[in-house]
DNA sequence: CTTGACCTTCCCCTGACTGGAACCCCCATA
DNA sequence: TATGGGGGTTCCAGTCAGGGGAAGGTCAAG
């Protein structure tokens, strides 16, 4: 199948699929006219990639996960380690964002938001505390 | 003062300060030897930038905030709108990350993480639900 | 006079794509 | 047979907010 149908079936944009080929995550065959020819297993890999990316795994995580997926001798510990590391990064990011949210929501509720210039948001950026 | 001291006082890396000059967020004078000569108000602007960036505002948000900061005729509504928009983006991002965290933490706790190949993480990436 | 710390510009690199230009291929219709 | 449209292809450039490092100029101390 051509890239268009592979895109519909994997729910990934054609551009993304070409990029994944460029970095070696999929290697579709080629027709004589130069068009990419995707097999069912190529689509299967693309769907896997889409799900892993949707969970926030990096491309390099995806590469490692796909290698483990293909390896019937894998240790589930290796998969789990990738996931726990990723989970830790996510939780750190959530903590950062929640700190920003905390500060910002206080500032926003303290600001009148009218046509006068007085603004605790700017005051805090200038001199916090 | 030279960029090194401006960096220490603003707690921003010299590279970042040069970048901010390149995109027009600060415009330090120059000594005859070509070195940047930062004034107190330049440092003040850098500190403001550092705080705004620490709250997650984009560079373009910072540019707008600094323009409002410099404008004694500003309406606090304009400042507040920038902050509320940014807060909304942060909250959307937190929601995304929490969804990932939710799914990932379930997967991690379901995975034995031993030397056997059976792995609900890979199974779910292959066939969710 | 030399050493070492500082400063300068310049260019390339990051992640994970996205947009666009220029061009090729295939099928249907007038 | 022309042509129009909807595929496909490659390559280049841009995104965001800087970071790394090279090649070279400047300055104060020993």
Tell me, in Å, how far CA of A22 is from C1' of C17?
A: 12
Please tell me which of the candidates B48, B104, B128 has its beta carbon nearest to residue A126: B48
Contact with chain B for residue A125, Cβ under 8 A: yes
Do B119 and A90 lie within an 8 Å CB cutoff?
Answer: no
Q: What's the pLDDT score for residue B118?
A: 95
> Counting Cβ atoms within 10 Å, is residue B116 exposed (0-12), middle (13-18) or buried (19+)?
exposed
The count of other CB atoms within 10 Å of the CB of residue A70 is 10
Annotate chain A with three-state secondary structure: CCHHHHHHHHCCCHHHHHHHHHCCCCCCEECCCCCEECCHHHHHHHHHHHHHHHCCCCHHHHHHHHHHHHCCCCCHHHHHHHHHHHHHHHHHHHHHHHHHHHHHHHHHHHCCCCCCCCCHHHHHHHCCC
Cα B118-B121-B125 angle, rounded to 5 deg: 115
| 10-residue averages of pLDDT along chain A (129 residues) | 97 97 97 96 98 98 97 97 97 97 97 95 91
pLDDT in tens, chain B (129 residues): 999 999 999 999 999 999 999 999 999 999 999 999 999 999 999 999 999 999 999 999 999 999 999 999 999 999 999 999 999 999 999 999 999 999 999 999 999 999 999 999 999 999 887
Q: Measuring CA to CA, how many Å separate A18 from each of A12, A47, A62, A65, A67?
A: 10, 14, 16, 20, 20
Q: What's the pLDDT score for residue A112?
A: 94
Measure the CA–CA gap between B111 and B109, rounded to whole angstroms. 6
Q: Strand pairing partners for B29?
A: B37
Measure the CA–CA gap between A78 and B87, rounded to whole angstroms. 37
Measure the CA–CA gap between B50 and B72, rounded to whole angstroms. 22
Q: What CATH class is the domain B1-57?
A: mainly alpha
Q: Nearest residue to C16 (CA, C1')?
A: A59
Q: Measuring CA to CA, how many Å separate B15 from each of A36, B6, B22, B35, B119?
A: 44, 12, 10, 14, 45
Closest alpha carbon within chain B to A52? B125
Contact with chain B for residue A95, Cβ under 8 A: no
Measure the CA–CA gap between B80 and B98, rounded to whole angstroms. 26
Measure the CA–CA gap between B105 and B20, rounded to whole angstroms. 40
Residue spans of the domains in chain A: they are 1-57, 75-129
């Amino acid at each position: 199948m051509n890239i268009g149908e592979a895109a519909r079936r994997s729910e990934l944009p054609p551009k993304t699929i070409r990029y994944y080929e460029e970095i070696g995550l999929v290697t579709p065959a080629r027709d004589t006219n130069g068009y990419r020819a995707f097999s069912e297993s190529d689509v299967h890999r693309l769907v896997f990639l889409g799900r892993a990316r949707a969970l926030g795994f990096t491309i390099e995580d995806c590469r490692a996960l796909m290698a483990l997926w293909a390896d019937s001798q894998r240790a589930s510990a290796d998969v789990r380690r990738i996931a726990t590391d990723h989970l830790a990064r996510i939780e750190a990011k959530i903590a950062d964002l929640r700190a920003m949210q905390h500060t910002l929501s206080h500032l926003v509720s303290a600001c009148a938001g009218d046509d006068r210039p007085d603004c605790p948001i700017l005051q805090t950026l200038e001199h916090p505390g």
